[in-house]
Structure 1
């Protein structure tokens, strides 16, 4: 039985259960702008799933929560290991629960460029014992510099798991959200007034960073992200009386980031430069 179609017109959970009823064996491919993955069926049971580096149950929850894109079932024998033991009904219910939960959480954590500063030090044994191993891992990664997107990528866990735990840690007062990303306009820095190896940040911006936490007032490096998706870390200095919404760059650094005067870039202070 070959099945394919649009997820805008057919619920993926209905397709998943239909394949279960028909005791199908093969691969259910699901593809959209956001994800590309596969559910492995054997005799109607989902035995494994793969998407964005995830496998098993967590991958299945991601795929069964999709409502956009296309699906295609490929009838085929396969040698996938059995990493999922839950029934299709359990998988569908949990996928629906996660979808509803993440929708609620995303009203608070609306994007993944948010940076969090931990208010506990999990290196101290007396504080460490209050948290699970996964919470300790995230608290160690959320260092006031690394944004949520980077943490999700490095954690080896699903978006849902990371965002849910971060949401709960913030709600309990263990994390502070810090506003350190600044959208600034690129302006040329004349060689007379600065070094070729550094950018200049207006003192007002540095003052804003310091109000978020004093630790940012001592930063000597900045991370820059451009609209062309180039990014990197450079030395920075502070200068008073500059235009408060501009970052001043020498020509060589402008060339490095492929930006021109008037372009806008995201800038944040770096505590631990790479």
Structure 2
């Protein structure tokens, strides 16, 4: 008889622990939060996992925080890939930590079907310093995407997206609304000019790091042009144009490999 049950009745890390102790080989199929995933074990050790666009450890952590859904264990099924190398004990310790943090996040973010939007801001109010991961999330918020859709757009886990949103909500930069609620009057459709100017500064720093002093003037030229266009109301298009021009500059000065590295680092920050 297959091991199966509801995530509402038992925390999934506890189920993993039970199977680990028994040394079983097989696969957990887990459905919850509107998606399905799988966790493979060999002799009780997790070897592979995937859910949505996540694979490996991050997939394990993503499913470990689900509190609703269903799981079933099918014995003697193995994956032909090994994407998890940490011990089950280490994985479950981190999963338990994230589950505790997830419960805190849910106090402000009770559903993944809520829509984040930018709060109306006073001039000069939103001087912000964001991490690269925060930029990835901020530049995907358009007042229409749900948190679940932000996961797909950013290729981050629900935990990572919600952790970023929690901080942005706490700072007053972002609000949340239900899908059936009308958009907040006066809420900007995207990041404010001040936020975009800060983003161009991040892009400039990455470009300067790659081209060195010899290309600083070319980088500065594109940076100033982007700032002017943002102040003229061109929004994210100005930032994207800056990135395109800088990629060509870096390719000419340093070669295609460095230009590729530049795009690899900045594309997650600016792509829609």
User: Shorter-chain TM-score: which interval?
Assistant: 0.5 to 0.7
Task: Quote the Cα distance in structure 1 between the aligned partners of 2:177 and 2:54.
Answer: 30
Partner deviation per Cα, 1:76-101 (whole Å, 9 max, x = no partner): 25343221122212222222222222
Task: Report if aligned partners of 1:116, 1:147 keep a CA contact under 8 Å in 2.
Answer: no
Give the 3 Å change call, closer, same or farther, for CA 145–214 of structure 1 in structure 2: closer
Task: Quote the Cα distance in structure 1 between the aligned partners of 2:178 and 2:38.
Answer: 38
Alignment of structure 1 residues 77-226 onto 2, 5 Å: 77-111=77-111, 112-117=113-118, 130-173=129-172, 175-177=173-175, 183=181, 209-210=185-186, 212-213=187-188
Task: Report if aligned partners of 1:115, 1:147 keep a CA contact under 8 Å in 2.
Answer: yes
Task: Quote the Cα distance in structure 2 between the aligned partners of 1:64 and 1:119.
Answer: 36
Q: Which runs of 5+ in 1 are unaligned?
A: 121-126, 185-204, 216-274
Residue 180 of structure 1, CA deviation: 9.7
Residue 64 of structure 1, CA deviation: 2.6
Task: Quote the Cα distance in structure 2 between the aligned partners of 1:214 and 1:99.
Answer: 32
> Alignment RMSD, CA only?
3.5
Which residue in the other structure is 1:189 paired with? none
Provide the secondary structure at the position in 2 that maps to 1:209: coil
Residue 66 of structure 1, CA deviation: 3.7
Task: Quote the Cα distance in structure 2 between the aligned partners of 1:3 and 1:54.
Answer: 26
Task: Report if aligned partners of 2:30, 2:70 keep a CA contact under 8 Å in 1.
Answer: yes
Task: Quote the Cα distance in structure 1 between the aligned partners of 2:47 and 2:143.
Answer: 39
Higher Cα radius of gyration: 1
Task: Report if aligned partners of 2:56, 2:84 keep a CA contact under 8 Å in 1.
Answer: yes
Q: What TM-score results when the alignment is normalised by the length of structure 2?
A: 0.55
Residue 146 of structure 1, CA deviation: 3.9
Residue 181 of structure 1, CA deviation: 6.6
Task: Quote the Cα distance in structure 1 between the aligned partners of 2:143 and 2:33.
Answer: 30
Tell me which protein shows more helix as a share of its residues: 2
Task: Quote the Cα distance in structure 2 between the aligned partners of 1:162 and 1:106.
Answer: 12
Partner deviation per Cα, 1:172-193 (whole Å, 9 max, x = no partner): 45x2327697757xxxxxxxxx
Partner deviation per Cα, 1:51-78 (whole Å, 9 max, x = no partner): 2332111211233334444333222253
Give the 3 Å change call, closer, same or farther, for CA 162–180 of structure 1 in structure 2: closer
Alignment of structure 1 residues 24-103 onto 2, 5 Å: 24-32=24-32, 34-103=34-103
Q: What TM-score results when the alignment is normalised by the length of structure 1?
A: 0.55
